[in-house]
Amino acid sequence: MSARPLASVSVDLDNLWAYLKTHGDPGWRDRPSFLPSAVPRLLEILGEQQLTTTVFVVGADVVREDGAKAVAEIAAAGHEVGNHSFGHEPWLHRYSRERLEDELSRTEDAIAAAGAPRPSGFRGPGYSVTRDLVELLAERGYAYDASTLPTWIGPLARAYHNRTANTSEAGLGELFGGVSRVLAPVHAYRWQTCAGSALVELPVTTMPLLRTPIHGSYLLQLHEISPRLARAYFRTALRLCLARGVSPSLLLHPTDVLGAADAPGMEFFPGMTAPGARKVAWLGWVLSALREHFDVVGTGEYVRRTAVRRTRPVTRLDVGR
């Protein structure tokens, strides 16, 4: 077995309609999809990098033909399929316990019907996680959650989004994480519940010390400003991860490989002016740089291989009600 440190990569398979819905575009109700374009590109680049990763899918997509086909292809390629909620609404903190359970179970059933194993990992849309959700995941036998983003930029990004979006729901969520996430752990830890939960929390990694994002969409924005800056920034993040003993958990999205022509109506989203081919080439460099220093696996495989000893009480306010 390699002695190199581990890193993980995951993909949130947010669809075109989900972005439009969060932004307040009524066109989302027609459920426009870019999965037929995005999934083959993602699978191709992951295959070229010889990576087996985790893809978090939205139940409302998986019950459709293109979403079920995507899950079947993802599973057939050896990737883990995770639960990303059913309706992809980044205001889960407003949901009752019963509605949260329905979100989980409907997506689990859809994933199984599409031919993938029952999910053992969950990520909340918009990094939304609550105490009820953590407890439900533990009760339902999930191994891990991956819904936290420990960065000070999250509240600023949410404020900008809420000011520019066209929906009254925008201000109701915890999109990009709440203020309390600024100093949340960057290392994996276990939620400590009254029932003795063993649920692991695997944060989306941010730059050690600086706590600025290093996920795919943020790196792409830097690349559009200056490719040299983006490369230096990511190399610095990897060096700091190595120095601080942080195992990077890199998050990707379909928009990291799609151009404007593939996602009509998403001109508001950062980075959509870049051609898809340029995005694919940049993502290939990012994954290659990560593989230079780490053994890269999916989030579920990372949790299985890692002994997580840190604990954090689930009753803390940083996971909502």
Q: What is residue 318's predicted lDDT score, i.e. its pLDDT?
A: 47
Q: How far is CA 245 from CA 37, 121, 200, in A?
A: 37, 23, 18
CB 254 within 8 A of CB 10: no
Percent with pLDDT over 70 in the chain: 87
Q: What is the C-alpha separation between 65 and 296, in angstroms, rounded?
A: 31
Print the SS3 string covering the chain: CCCCCEEEEEEECCCHHHHHHHHCCHHHHHCCCCHHHHHHHHHHHHHHCCCCCEEEECHHHHCCHHHHHHHHHHHHCCCEEEECCCCCCCCHHHCCHHHHHHHHHHHHHHHHHCCCCCCCEECCHHHCCCHHHHHHHHHCCCCEECCCCCCCHHHHHHHHHHHHCCCCCHHHCCCCCCHHHHHCCCCCEEEECCCCCCCEECCCCECCCCCCECCHHHHHHHHHHCHHHHHHHHHHHHHHHHHHCCCCEEEECHHHCCCHHHCCCCCCCCCCCCCHHHHHHHHHHHHHHHHHHCEEECHHHHHHHCCCCCEEECCCHHHCC
Question: Which residue numbers in the chain have pLDDT < 70?
Answer: 1-2, 154-182, 194-196, 315-321
Domains identified in the chain and CATH numbers? 6-35+49-205+248-253+292-314 (3.20.20.370)
**pTM: predicted TM-score of the whole model, two decimal places:** 0.92
Q: What is the C-alpha separation between 129 and 138, in angstroms, rounded?
A: 13
Q: What is residue 310's predicted lDDT score, i.e. its pLDDT?
A: 86
Q: What is the C-alpha separation between 19 and 265, in angstroms, rounded?
A: 9
Q: How many CB atoms lie within 10 A of CB 240?
A: 16
Cα radius of gyration rounded to whole Å, the chain: 18
CA atoms within 13 A on the CB side of 302: 33
Q: What is residue 247's predicted lDDT score, i.e. its pLDDT?
A: 97
Q: What is the mean pLDDT of the chain?
A: 89
**Chain centroid offset of residue 56 CA:** 7
Q: What is the C-alpha separation between 220 and 189, in angstroms, rounded?
A: 29
